[in-house]
Chain A
């Protein structure tokens, strides 16, 4: 009797082990020996119990739109499916924000990154060292160049443009945001017209505000425009601070990235920003977001780096 109970317990342990890992040959042999003796300790019910516990501890979360697109893209590559850009654009995501038509779809997600752990600097393929220097406070021109609003031209470039921001459902235009921006529907149509857009995912910067940021940036080099979608950014008070987007260009001095404009985030935490720089961006190497004073700055002191999208 005791031996039978011991066997049952052992079989249960082996079932658990089989569900979560690979059994050794000895364990597999032991399992094969025990399972006919206790058919009620079946593999399916133990695996279901483990999976239910796992799911209880790690509840499902809606896939971000950019991640869904990347998975579909990777799946197509894996199975060798041919597809058009429209296939990607027409793939209906389940993300509620996207379903409401407020967020653009990304285009063909080429170059999905594979090296996240190394961090944003290590992942930046071009100009990594220079960017490090730019973001490293000890080697930058900001000490010589006081913070200024965007009404003042920077030493390296003309006065930066404002971003056209399309806030989330409950958002309102903030300072520095043009109100005659095209609708997101129009923006999505524009994106569809671009067949070779560059798409990169946002990753958290060094500032805690960016800890949960996801989303993507889509850049059309020919059209010199793009869209940045952010999910999970904290709401800002436009009277105290604003988010500012930057574009690093390999053809420019890395100390002076192109200003992509300022934008606000409401309590919804989701925003789509149209990037329409007045300065030509020849070869973008990274997009970045900082928190700055209202209206933005010409040169950031990069004390609050919220998000980056290395290329």
Chain B
């Protein structure tokens, strides 16, 4: 069963919030690769990523009761929890070492061991939409979403005005949102026509 189908199958987090052990294990199976992929991308080393994954899932257990299906899918909920935890760790490491360059995530680790899973449909669409942006805009959005830099930090690093940084990020994500909606609508139309 692929992730997209799994995601639409049933909600797990309400049962996780109740401490249902089977739901907890299924949650690990369903979202483990998602969290591990994010952790590896946003961690300076594999060992650090392993620690981070543990912390992310603890956050998920702690936050499960706050999940509101009207505000997004469980996958989005877990992904954003993972990002928040990973960015917190990155910032903490940067502050500790006081040398950001020494703690840039080692992206070469990402593809080094287990093969990446196929992206879910939304991520594929996002990747395509993201790819149509100017390279500099991609970099700015990546600095914000992936590297966890604040808008003002990005402005300092890139030499761009703060307002420009905000606009680039907003427009980039807006473009992804439009693509997701357009393709999603097309998909639903195609499904209803068959």
Residues of chain A having any CB pair with chain B under 8 Å = 9, 12-13, 16, 19-21, 43-64, 67-68, 70-72, 74-76, 78-81, 91, 94-95, 112-114, 116-117, 201, 203-204, 211-214, 231-232, 269
Contacts and interface: CB of A to CB of B under 8 A. Distances in A.
14 contacts: A12-B173, A13-B166, A48-B73, A49-B176, A50-B173, A52-B126, A54-B83, A55-B34, A57-B146, A61-B116, A67-B53, A79-B24, A94-B29, A269-B113
Contacts of A51: 72, 75-76, 79-80, 122
B79 A55 contact: yes
Contact of B84 (A9, A20, A232): A20
A-B pairs with lowest CB-CB distance, top 8: A212-B112, A58-B41, A232-B113, A52-B126, A116-B47, A60-B33, A56-B127, A55-B123
Contact of B71 (A43, A59, A62, A74): A43
B141 interface: yes
A81 B23 CA distance: 13
B57 A74 contact: yes
A112 B50 CA distance: 10
The DSSP consensus for interface residues of chain B is helix
B108 to A, nearest CB: 8
Interface string B59-70: 001000000001
B181 interface: yes
A232 B170 CA distance: 39
Interface string B119-134: 1101111110010000
Interface residues on B, range: 35 or more
Q: Which of B48, B58, B170, B177 has the most chain A CB atoms closer than 10 A to its own CB?
A: B177
B169 A61 contact: no
A76 B28 CA distance: 12
A91 B25 contact: yes
Contact of A70 (B34, B54, B76): B54
Nearest to A83: B21
Contacts of B125: 52
B154 interface: no
B79 A54 contact: yes
Q: Which of A76, A112, A213, A214 has the most chain B CB atoms closer than 10 A to its own CB?
A: A214
B33 A61 contact: yes
B12 interface: no
Interface in B134-149: 141-142, 145-146
A238 to B, nearest CB: 22
Contacts of B114: 61-64, 95, 231-232
